[in-house]
Amino acid sequence: MTNNNPNYNKLIVTLFAWAIGLLIFFPILWTILTSFKTEAEAIASPPLFLGFNWTLENYLEVHERSNYFLHFWNSVVISVGSTLLGLLIAIPAAWAMAFVPAKQTKNVLMWMLSTKMLPPVGVLIPIYLLFRDFGLLDTRVGLVIVLTLINLPIIVWMLYTYFKEIPGEILEAARMDGATLWSEVIYVLTPMAVPGIASTLLLNIILAWNEAFWTLNLTAAKAAPLTAFIASYSSPEGLFYAKLSAASTMAIAPILIMGWFSQKQLVRGLTFGAVK
């Protein structure tokens, strides 16, 4: 055996990569498979991999029992709304930090990130009370606001690293060309940062789509997104693995499809700051 054979090494690396890939993908695959089983088959021991009676019964029942499209629409409004609102606030903030840094800019960035280190449950009661007093409980507006605030530090950080890559001279050129601050941001900075802004947008839509703590705690029915829809099938009175799996599959399908079509942008987003 020659370990130095490049083809042999390549084979090992490829097998290893596939093994890790499948390991990560397995829970999703298992969820999708389970969604097509009967409840009895879902808890069978030993577990059934492919040899079971494929059925769409769970999907029909889930569809009958809950209003999927209402939850889907809530998820879309909340994730897209909070991401767009976040970008609107973060673009000027990141511009200021990247191009007119002050002495404390680095510290402000760290402070913003530090808010992500606090367990959300620590501020649940004050936020719940505020929401109650302002009538925001179980409203989409309320969730858009809270998810914007939750993800804002990440949006600002990502945009900051992208903006840092844009040569300051180009913005200075715009200033010399008579551009006002707003024209500079709208006509020069934003178009140049489109790849970075797109990555940030996609990643934050996914984060907001999957956010389960606030969406579960601050909604009941009207504004409940898909996370709450899944949770409604893991009820304490009985375990319905197959129906739970069907609900989960329906909830992750849209974001999975979106993620698949925007892989390139996402990879850039996930490795942000890694390459200068």
Partner 1 sequence: MGSITLANVTKSFGAVNVIPPLNLEINEGEFVVFVGPSGCGKSTLLRLIAGLEDVTSGTISIDGADATAVPPAKRGLAMVFQSYALYPHMSVRKNISFPLKMAGLDQAEIDKKVNGAAEVLNLSDYIDRRPGQLSGGQRQRVAIGRAIVREPEAFLFDEPLSNLDAALRVNMRLEITELHQNLKTTMIYVTHDQVEAMTMADKIVVLRAGFIEQVGSPLELYRSPANLFVAGFIGSPKMNFLTGAAAAKYDATTIGIRPEHVSLSDKEGDWKGVVGVAEHLGSDTFLYVKLEDGTQFTVRAEGEVSFEHGDTVYASAASADRIYRFDDKDIAL
Nearest-approach distance from CB 183 to partner 1, in angstroms = 6
Task: Supply the Cα-derived Rg of the chain in whole angstroms.
Answer: 23
Residues 189-218 that bind partner 1 (CB under 8 A): 191-192, 194
Q: Is there binding between residue 102 and partner 1 (CB under 8 A)?
A: no
Name which of 136, 151, 20 is nearest 85 in CA terms.
151
The answer to whether the CB of 249 falls within 8 A of the CB of 226 is no
Cα 71 from Cα 227, distance rounded (Å): 8
Cα 227 from Cα 70, distance rounded (Å): 12
Q: Is there binding between residue 172 and partner 1 (CB under 8 A)?
A: yes
Q: Is there binding between residue 237 and partner 1 (CB under 8 A)?
A: no
Nearest-approach distance from CB 275 to partner 1, in angstroms = 19
Instruction: Please pick, from the candidates 10, 106, 175, 264, the single residue that binds partner 1 as defined by CB under 8 A.
Output: 175
The answer to whether the CB of 179 falls within 8 A of the CB of 61 is no
Instruction: Please pick, from the candidates 16, 25, 187, 261, the single residue that binds partner 1 as defined by CB under 8 A.
Output: 187
Instruction: Please pick, from the candidates 179, 207, 216, 231, the single residue that binds partner 1 as defined by CB under 8 A.
Output: 179
**CA 96, 167, 177: angle at the middle one, nearest 5?**
80
Residues 151-170 that bind partner 1 (CB under 8 A): 167, 169-170
Nearer to partner 1, 30 or 187 (CB): 187
Q: Is there binding between residue 178 and partner 1 (CB under 8 A)?
A: yes
The tokens 């950080």 sit on which residue?
157
Nearest-approach distance from CB 103 to partner 1, in angstroms = 10
Cα 18 from Cα 13, distance rounded (Å): 9
Question: Which residues contribute to the site for partner 1 (CB under 8 A)?
Answer: 167, 169-170, 172-180, 183, 187-188, 191-192, 194
